[in-house]
Structures are given as structure tokens and as C-alpha cells.
Structure 1
Amino acid sequence: MEKLDDLLLFTEVVEHAGFSAAARSLGIQRSKLSRHIANLENRMGIRLLHRNTRNVVLTPAGEQVYHHAVELRQAARNAFSVASDLSSTPQGILRIGCSSTLAQEALVPILGLFMQEYPQIRVIIHVADSNIDLISSKVDLVFRITSKDLEDSSLIVRPVCAIPMILVASKNYNNGKVQVEHPSELIAFNYITLGIHENYVLKDFVHKNGEVLNVQLEPYLSCGNMSVIKSAVKNGMGIAVLPHYLCIDELRENQFIEVFSAQSHWSSPDSLMNALLPTRQNVLLITKLFLDFAMPLLRNKLTRFDFDVESLNT
């Protein structure tokens, strides 16, 4: 049987975009890694990578081989997972991808409880404020929050919950004079938005009667991190749409003001949170175990209007 280790090393070179970064990640010498890939190419009789001084690029043949090598790596992980599943105690490494705000505010307290329950399961959290690719990031599960339903894909999509959103400002912004009756009035304020936007953004707002109004706003500040946006609001820099669960303390202590008055009947639409998993045959038992444990707690955390860590146990 051909050496399969070289194929797995090949995936590392591709995913680290070069030999040096891959070698550092693997803890081996760059020259040794290069010889393994050269031997692999010689045995296959094809060139897998175009090399230059800066990076490596897959050849057309390399793209096909990489696809199968990734499947091989996943099959190997599944084999070890099956062996772990057959033991009486769940064990192994669970790799989760999510945004930094979700990790800090919701996931870590839940993971603390989960890992107390299953002490032989270890967890790696891949944190990024852009969309995490399940395959290239080598994670078992990604939590993704969007404003709309996810497009069809080859991944399994498990809805977690709708997250209530709220348009808020600090009481120190504009001397606390921020409440409005209609979304068209928002152009008078500094608007802080999620993402990186140099020009205008279109924002939806929903009336109690079901009407949806699309408002064009010019960002005063834009950022890809929801916690940074909250900090900007707290420092009186403008108004922003934030997850309600992220503002509970500030609303309770009157540090934040709801921009839409109670009489306006306008609000921000909910965001949607989904758990993304690979194809069904590649879902590990510990991933299923964690989802069954975590999803009710995440719903409780992200949708209720008064929350503390102790409430996870209720």
C-alpha cells in the first residue's frame, strides 16, 4: 500500500499556503516536509504544486488529489472516533468554529459545563469574525449568525434559534436625545455597523404590522467584531444594532437607550443562528453529543432578556 502519510502532509502544505508555515505547524523541518511532497509527486508521476519563493499553488491535478486527500484525512479521523465511541467514556478532540463575541459571551460558559460532564473530551475553538470554512479550517462544527437564511450547500444546517436584535445608543450620545418614531429619522445619527463598509449600507427595519422598510445609512464606524461595536456605543460614538442578550446589563442599568420609542412599533429584525456540520457520515459522536447538550442552553442564553451563568443549570 502506498504511504498515506505523505497525502496528509500534502493537505497541510495546501492549507498553510506554503512549506514553512506547514512545517512549523507540524513541528518538522521544512526540508524534510519538502522531500515527502517531492516523493509523493514522484510516486504519482504528476506535479501537485507550483512552487515559488513566496507560496505554493495547486496544479489542476493537485486540486483533484487534494480533494481526495481531505476525504482520506476525515475518514482517518472517523476511524479513531469510532474507536473512541466504542469505549464507555466519550473522549477525543472537538473542534468548534465561531465568532469571538459568541465564544466569549455564550459558548465558553456552556463549554465549561460540558467539559465537567465529559472530562475526557478536549476542545479547540477556532475564533474568527469572518465566515469560517468548515473544511479548510478542519473544524467539526461551525456556529454561524446571519441576517437571512443560509443558501443551500453540501453542509448540514441545524437551526439553533432566532436572536432578538435591538437598536441602541448610549445615554451619553447626543445628550440622550436619540429616540425616534420612524426609521427615516436615523440618518441624523452616527450609525455604527457590523462588517467593513466604506460606502452606504442598506438596513432593514420591521413594523409591528409586518411592513419592512429598507433604509440607506452611511456608516460612521464599521467593524467586524460585535463586542467592539458595543464598546463604541458605550463610549457614546453613535447608534448600532446589537444582539439583545449583549445589552442586558446596560439596558437594565439605563446606560443604553432603545432608539425606537415604544410608540413607534418599529424594531430590528432577528438574526438567525445555525450550526453547520459536514456530511452526515462525517459527523463525529462527540459533535452530536455536544450539540444535544449545548443547543438548549444556547437558545436560553441568546433569546432570554435576563441572563446569568447560573441560569445555565436551570
Structure 2
Amino acid sequence: MNQITDLNNLRLFAEVIEHGSFTAAARSLGVQTSKLSRRIRALEEELGVRLLNRTSRTLSLTETGRQFYQHCAALVAESVAAKDIVDQTRTTPQGIVRMSCPVALMTAGVAAIISRYVQDNPQVQVLLDATNRRVDVIEEGLDFAIRVRLPPLENTDLAFRQLGVSVQILVASPALIARHPAPSSMESLSDWPTLAMSSNNERFVWNLVDSKGVVTSWVHQPRLATDDLASLRVAAMQGTGIALLPKELVDADIKAGRLRHLLPDMATTPGLVHAIFPSRRGMVPAVRHLLDALVAGFEEMSRQ
């Protein structure tokens, strides 16, 4: 399919017709009349037809030029409409936001934050991939992905924004606690059944820090190991064993009495909850405002 070399010439042609002369069009566009005239003549030469009848005083369209102008005017109108869409997305939250988030964080409160955001911004559609796998935001076309990592964060070409922190604590069901003496240290848990996240080398270690900053590492053999935190939470509530779970995931269970916090002066090193995204440049309001909502939501959860 043959295409015009420079589509800008179509816009220039439309401007000449709309202004009625080369001089008026050149003045409006801020270019020299002679340069504008050369561009239109080059367009005619490229097309192989005459579009305009020129005299020293008048300017009129040929029949071919009249039909050609209708398409040029439509092209200009579409380009204006396209720019309007971009301008709107730069000022008002609207459009599609593609993101991913670990399942446990969704359960712990991210789902509620996103739900409120969507209600407050009816022109925004959020497409969420709730997954525990490590996603590639660029390869998969995501606007951002939420991750939890221990500091320092890895070096990457991606931009990131911290949303909050996450610590893990030891919890168990009241029924399980009733069957064992009250624990006073990690070592006193040796007779308790445990639950754990899956391990590639099948070696299970809990590293906890006390209020004085002393780290205790405890090796154990769990009754159940899985990569799904939600399943560990359910198993803990059923009394299957002690679990090390994110505080935000089990806060409501502790308040309701479904779980109890063991060794409350010990927890994991805080992990950084952060969003990673390709670049801060050109971020549309729908994405930027959703990140703001997530930051505010994590701050609210930390105060509860």
C-alpha cells in the first residue's frame, strides 16, 4: 500500500484551505509563506495531481483537491481527538490500570483499598493479577507490581515506591495453646507442631528478632509446608500448628480470638512492601492516584 511520505503535509494542506490563503495559514502556523507553498507543491508532486488552482489573487480547489481535503480535515479532527484523550488521562484518573499483587497482601487489606479506589474513580478499570509468582512488569505489560522484600532492595532499572512495611509474627489457635505450656522462648516451642512456607531445599528456619535486636534462628520440621499464606492461616486457626504469618494478615483473627500472638516481643525483620514500575516519567493519574491510595491504606492499617 502506497503511503504519503509526510502526513504533516496533509495537515498543512487542510490549514491552507481552512484559512483561505497561504499567507493566512502561514501566519497562523508561524511559518514562512514560501515554505508552506513549497510543502503543498511537494505534496501535489508526490500525489501526481493538482490539488489547488492558484492565481495571484485567488485560491480554489480542484475537484480532486476538494475530495482530498475532506479526508485531510477528517484526519486532523481525529488527531485532535486523539490528543484530547491523552490530555484527559493526564489530568483525570481514567482508563485501565494493570497490576499484580501477592495473594496474602490482597487478603490482608490491598483488596479493600483497591475496591474503595475503584468506587471513588468510576472511570478507572483495574485489572489485577493476584499471584505469588515473580512477575515481569515490562514483559507482561503491567503498570506496576506489588512486592515484599527484605532491605536492602535489589538493584534494578525499574522505579519503585515504598507502600509500607510488613512483619511476620508467631500465631496459634487457642485450642492448640491449651494443649501446651505457655512458651517463653523459641526453644520452648520444640514440642509444638509447626506450619511453614515451602522451602526449595526442604530446610525450614525461622529467624526472629527480639525487642533488643537479638536474632534467634530456629530450625524446625513443619507438619504442613505450602507456598500459600492463606492456607497456612486456615491451618493455624484449625489448630494444626504454629504459623509465622504477616501481622496484617492475622490482625483481625487475633482481635476476634481465632488466633493468639505467641512470643509477642519477637518478630521477623520488617519487609518493605513496595510497588515497582517501568518509569516515573509519563505516569498517568489513574496509576499515580492508585499508588497514593495504597500508601494511605497501608498507613491506616499500621495505626490499627
* TM-score in terms of structure 1 length: 0.64
* Structure index of larger Rg: 2
SS of residue in 2 equivalent to 1:266: coil
Paired with 1:144 and 1:137, the residues of 2 have a C-alpha distance of: 16
Matched, 1:210 2:209: no
- Residues 1:256 and 2:259 aligned together: yes
**Which residue of the partner structure matches residue 220 of structure 1?**
223
Distance 1:2 1:286 in 2: 39
Q: Give CA deviations for 1:8-66 in whole Å, capped at 9, x if unaligned.
A: xxxxxxxxxxxxxxxxxxxxxxxxxxxxxxxxxxxxxxxxxxxxxxxxxxxxxxxxxxx
| Pairs within 5 Å for 1:23-34 | none
Q: Secondary structure at the match of 1:145?
A: strand
Do 1:81 and 1:92's aligned partners in 2 also have CA atoms closer than 8 Å? Answer: no
Report what 1:298 is aligned to. Answer: 298
**Contact 1:203 / 1:215 at 8 angstroms: preserved in 2?**
yes
Distance 1:299 1:272, change over 3 A: same
% identical aligned pairs: 22
Judged with a 3 Å threshold, the aligned counterparts in structure 2 of structure 1 residues 276 and 2 are, in CA distance, closer, same or farther, namely farther
Indicate the RMSD between aligned Cα atoms, in angstroms: 2.7
| SS at structure 1 position matched to 2:233 | helix
Shift of residue 278, structure 1, vs aligned partner: 1.0
Q: How does 1:70-89 map to 2 (within 5 A)?
A: 82-86=86-90, 89=92
Whole-angstrom CA distance in 2 between matches of 1:181 and 1:282? 53
The DSSP-based 3-state class of the residue aligned with 2:208 is strand
User: Which residue of the other structure, out of 119, 123, 127, is the alignment partner of 1:120?
Assistant: 123
Mapping for residues 257-276 of structure 1, pairs under 5 Å: 257-260=260-263, 265-276=265-276
SS of residue matched to 1:188: coil
2:281 alignment partner, SS class: helix
Deviation string for 1:129-172 (max 9, x for gaps)?
Answer: 12222122221111112344321111112111122322011112
1:146 maps to 2:149: yes
TM-score, length-normalised on structure 2?
A: 0.66
Given that residues 130 and 224 in structure 1 are in contact (C-alpha distance below 8 angstroms), is that contact kept between their aligned partners in structure 2?
Answer: no
Distance in 2, Cα, partners of 1:90 & 1:110: 16
Q: Which runs of 5+ in 2 are unaligned?
A: 4-82
CA distance in 2, matches of 1:298, 1:184: 33
Distance 1:210 1:174, change over 3 A: closer
SS across alignment from 2:111: helix
- Contact 2:98–2:143 at 8 Å: present in 1 too? yes
Greater displacement, 232-241 / 135-144? 135-144
Q: Contact conserved, 2:94 with 2:285, CA < 8 A, in 1?
A: no
Q: Is the alpha carbon distance of 1:105 and 1:210 closer, same or farther for their aligned partners in structure 2, counting shifts above 3 Å?
A: closer
Aligned residue pair count = 225
Distance 1:276 1:101, change over 3 A: same
Secondary structure of the 2:190 match is: helix
Q: Which runs of 5+ in 1 are unaligned?
A: 4-78, 306-314
User: Which amino acid in the other structure matches residue 299 of structure 1?
Assistant: E
**Distance 1:107-1:266 versus aligned 2 partners, 3 A rule:** closer
1:117 Cα deviation after fit:
2.2
Q: Which residue of 2 aligns with 1:286?
A: 286
